[in-house]
Each structure stands twice: as C-alpha cells, then as structure tokens.
Structure 1
Amino acid sequence: MSDLIERGATAPLAVSADWSELRDWIALLKPRVMTLVVFTGAVGLAVAPGHIHPLLGAVAILCIALGAGAAGCINMWYDRDIDAVMRRTIRRPIPAGRIAPEAALAFGVFLSGFSVVLMGLVTNWVAGAWLAGSILYYVFIYTMWLKRRTPQNIVIGGAAGAFPPIIGWVAVTGGVDVLPLILFAIVFFWTPPHFWSLSLWAHDDYQRAGVPMLPVVSGARETRRQIMLYTVLLAPLGLLPTLLGLAGWVYGAFALSLGAGFLFHAWRVLREPQDAAGVSLAGDTAARAAFRFSLLHLAGLFTALTLDHWLRAAGMIH
C-alpha cells in the first residue's frame, strides 16, 4: 500500500517535469516569431493563383513553421553566450542550463533537413529550395555574420523573415511573381522600424551583450530618425498591390489606414520628449506603442490582402 501511495504522490511531479521539458524544446523554436512567419507564409499560399489540396497546403505551412523554428533553434545555440547576459533572454533553455547546447544544435539541424525535404516531396523542390535558402540566410548571414558586426544587422538580416510569403506562393505555383516579391519587400522594410522600436527600450540589454544594435552604436536620436525613414518608405509599398491592380479597394483601404497609423506612431517616436542624446524622458512610451502597432500593421495588411483575394475570387468585388 505504501508503495502505491508513493508512486501516486510522485506521478504528478513526473508529468509536470515532462511537460516542463517539452515546453523548453518548444521554446527553442521561438514560437512567437514562428507565429508571424507561419501567418505571412499562409497568406502567400492563400493568395497564390492555382490550387493546392488543403492537406498538402497544411503540410506546406507546417514545413514553413518547422523551418523557421529550426533556424530559431540554431540561433539560440549560437547566441547562447549573449543570451546569458541579457535580461530578456537569460531564462531561455540553453543559458538557463535546462537543455545542452549540443542537443539544441542537433535538434535544429534535424528539423532544418526534415522541413526542406518534406516541403520538396509534398509540394515542389523549388519551394524546398526557397525554404532551405531562408534557413541558411537566417543562420549564416544574419546570426553568424551580421548580428554581432554591424548596426545594419536588422536591415540586411530582415530578409530572412521576409521569405515566407514567397515560399507559400511557390508551394502552390512552383515559381515567383510580382505580388510575392511585393510582400517580401513589405516585410523587409517593416522589420527595421518594428525591431528598432523594441531596441529603443531594450538597448541596455544589447549594450551589455555587445550587440551593435543601432541605438547602441548610433544613439537613440539617430534610431528615431531611421524608424521614421523606413516607415515613410514602407507606407507606399503597402499600397503597391492595389496601385498595380494586384489587389482591390478593400485591401487598398486597409493599407492606406494602416500605413497612416504607422506613420503617426513613427512621428510620435521621433517627437517624443527626449534629452540631448535622444533618450526618452517619458520611458519610451511612444516606442512601445509603435512596436505594438507594428504588429497590428503587418497582421492587418496580410489579413486584408487575403480577404480582398477571397472577395474578388467570389465575384463580390472587382
């Protein structure tokens, strides 16, 4: 009887430990980043001309998710030294000692290969090649080369996060066209103001880790100017699908309002009360608001594009 009681008492603890370890492995895949990647990839697939079986489409989106997660996992393996000194990353599984670096690397490499091969087999090898290219770009160009060497790391490295709409499109069509390239450009130019808004109020972490983010290298005032500049460049890009006849007025109305909203937030970041060095006197409240709105901006644009596509396909709008 005492044996049964002891086993019953320890069982919940064992289940809890197993769930905790599973959460750590999931955390290696950067699920928050993966959510955005999956969403933009799914939109690329949804608006592509032609037809793909729903099951194959779901597998293609899964491959995009696994590829993004694999790249994030290898990124965590490589950046474990700087993650250990940054407040917002110190609790990640590798620096916290819950997962061995070698195990994380093996996990990331396996998922990379698996996602690319599965994508090639299920859809086409052109899509597999684009997925492989996005993983390699994120790992070698951004993580290992740019991130620790230049304040332009986010600008050039932003291409890695802009590939999914192209991958989703190619999974259906087997080739690239104008619309997915515009979607790539939108994500590419959206990334700097999105990430620099975050880095304005997290610059102490980057400075402590020696990562040359723009606020650390060029200061807060220049970062504010760059946020405004890239948002000005982004706004007309958002309207381009409608201007070129690739999307209708429903998308255009959303793109116009969302672009204006992002410009307003970027202007607030630029004009926020600040000292001579550009450091906020109000706790970077405008930068935090701009960061949050940037997520709404991108999600809104891609959702509107999908809605516009479906309405036009159903003949409800022209």
Structure 2
Amino acid sequence: MPGKISIYIKYSKPKVWWLLVFIAFGGAILAINSFTLNNIILILVATVSVTMGSMGAEGLTNYIDLDMDSTMERTKNRPLPQGQITKRQALIFGYSLAIFSVLILIVFRRFLAALFMSAGIFDNVFIYSYLLKKISPYSIIYGGFSGAFPVLIGWYTVTSAFSWLPWILFFLVMFWIPVHVWSLAYRYREDYRKANVPMYPVTHSDRSTAIAISFSSILLIVFSITPYFLRIYSLIYLIPVAILSVPIIIFSYKFIKKPDKNTSFSLFVYTAPYLTFVFILVMVLNIIRILNIH
C-alpha cells in the first residue's frame, strides 16, 4: 500500500504542485489580520483544497498527455506510460481529488474561492491540456490562469475583502509561467517536436523565442515591484526585489544575444527561487505587520 501511494504521489507531479500550494498558502497568509483559530483553520482549508485540486488536475492532464508522455524522453518513465497505474485508476484519482477540492471550499462556505478553484481546474485540464496544448504555441499563456489562481483561492478562502495585492501577485505568477515553461521547453524542444507538441520554442526561431521569454521576464519584474508604487509596501520590499531582479535582466539579455540551451536554462533555474522569494517576502512583511499591531 505505501508503495502504491508513492506511485500516485509521483503521478501527481509534486514538483509542479508544491509551488501552487505554496502560492495558495502565501495568498492565505496575506489575507489575515490576526492569528485567530478561525484564520488558522481557513489557512489549512486553503492549503488542503489547493493541494487536492492541483494533484487532481495534474492527474487528469497526465491522462490527456499519455501519448505525448510515452513519446518524450523526459516523460516516458512517468507512472502512467510505464503502466504502474491503469488509465481507469488515473481518471478516478484525478476526478476524485478535483471534485473534493471544490467541495471542501463549498462546505466551509468559501464560494468565491470554490469558483476560482473550479475555473483553475477547468482552465488547466480542458482549455490548456485538452484543447490547446497540441495545436497552439500560445497554449501556456491561456494555461497560465490556472497556475495563478491559487493565490486568489488562498486569499478568498480567508477573506472576502478586496485588495489589489492578491491580483498583482496573480499577474506576477501569470507572467512567470511563460518564462519558466518556455525556457525549459527551449532546452527540450526536440522532445516536443518529436511528440508533435507545438510549444512556442518549437514553432518559432531562436531569436523570436528569446525575445518572447525575455519580454515576459520584464513583465514579471514590473509586477514584482508594482506593490511598492501602489504604496502597499515600502523600500524594505522594493530594495531586495530590485536587487534580485537584476540577474533576470542579465540572463534575459544573454539569452537574446546568444540563444542556446545554456542561456535558456539559466533563466529557467533562476526564476523558480525568484518567485518563491517574492512570496516569502510578502508573507514575512504581513506577519511582521500583524505582530506590530498586537
């Protein structure tokens, strides 16, 4: 049994959903004004529901991508192509977790969060994976909504109050996704070409790809520093974010100047901890604010 559980966890691609769960946790932390028992419970609700929703969505997209994953060297050893779980088991796993993730939020009367959860799963599974992934080089742009929804799910699980902050972070994640995914796809584009998946780096030239990824990286920086200019945060926020944004500019410039797998992969490797740092910083600042209030 433990072995089977580990297979299902591997099948759900934890390297993908851990960041979505972290983003949702960050959104929930930003929404609280005090560490009451009710707020702690709601933070847990947001975290659990996004964990289940992300695992379920990945399970369903893996089912859709079976033919592609069986072809690509990078993915052919995943549990479903290897026959470690059946297609029926994969579907039951995906649907069950996806449905329960929405039901949890409904039970706790977090209806707006449940709406965002449903929209995120629908966008990831149907719009991105089923409809667009194998026909459009721009599929990841439309699929980016599902990757950004967790911050809104976290926020609106805890509070119904409006703030620009979770929406700024929503667009921050939206522009992070093409940078992260396309820079990795560029490195493995022969794999995608072999599987007939028209990722942007496959259908466009090296220079066009480098410009598109670098443009997204600049938008990523713009939304990273926007909270300062909206007076949500002070220089305590701006200075470290600005310093950490410099390597992205440098890597983007090098990628445009010399598009190759190394310059592309440098951008990929750096953007993951960059996003994590921004979310850690805003969470820490909110916790400090709460402690100062009380």
TM-score (norm 1): 0.87
Q: Which moved more, 1:37-46 or 1:117-126?
A: 117-126
Number of residue equivalences: 290
- Determine the structure 2 residue equivalent to 1:91: 77
Distance 1:205 1:287 in 2: 16
Cα distance, 1:160 vs structure 2 = 0.9
- Residues 123, 307 of structure 1: alpha-carbon distance in 2 compared, 3 angstrom cutoff: farther
Of the two structures, which has the highest relative contact order with CA contacts closer than 8 Å and spacing of 6 or more?
2
Contact 1:60/1:123 (<8 A) preserved: no
Which 5+ residue runs of structure 1 have no aligned equivalent? 1-17, 273-277
Q: Which moved more, 1:293-302 or 1:46-55?
A: 46-55
For 2:284, give the aligned amino acid.
L
CA displacement 1:218-255 (0-9 Å, x = unmatched): 12221111111111222121111111122232222222
Alignment of 1:2-21 (within 5 A): 18-21=1-4
Alignment of 1:43-62 (within 5 A): 43-50=26-33, 52-62=38-48
- Residues 311, 124 of structure 1: alpha-carbon distance in 2 compared, 3 angstrom cutoff: same
Out of 277, 281, 290, the position equivalent to 1:304 is 281
- Determine the structure 1 residue equivalent to 2:20: 37
2:143 paired with 1:166: no
Flag the structure with larger Rg.
1
The alignment yields a C-alpha RMSD, in angstroms, of: 1.6
Contact 1:77/1:105 (<8 A) preserved: yes
- Residues 300, 123 of structure 1: alpha-carbon distance in 2 compared, 3 angstrom cutoff: farther
Cα distance, 1:21 vs structure 2 = 2.3
Contact 1:90/1:96 (<8 A) preserved: yes
Q: Which moved more, 1:225-234 or 1:52-61?
A: 52-61
Distance 1:47 1:53 in 2: 11
Contact 2:24/2:46 (<8 A) preserved: no
Cα distance, 1:56 vs structure 2 = 3.2
- Determine the structure 1 residue equivalent to 2:117: 131
CA displacement 1:41-77 (0-9 Å, x = unmatched): 1110001144543133213201111101100000001
SS in 1 for 2:15: helix
- Determine the structure 1 residue equivalent to 2:138: 152
Alignment of 1:148-227 (within 5 A): 148-174=134-160, 176-227=162-213
2:23 paired with 1:23: no
Contact 1:152/1:214 (<8 A) preserved: yes
Contact 1:34/1:68 (<8 A) preserved: yes
- Determine the structure 2 residue equivalent to 1:110: 96
Contact 1:60/1:122 (<8 A) preserved: no
Distance 1:46 1:106 in 2: 32
For 1:160, give the aligned amino acid.
S
Identical columns (%): 30
CA displacement 1:11-67 (0-9 Å, x = unmatched): xxxxxxx44322211122111111100111111000114454313321320111110
- Residues 176, 144 of structure 1: alpha-carbon distance in 2 compared, 3 angstrom cutoff: farther
2:262 paired with 1:285: yes
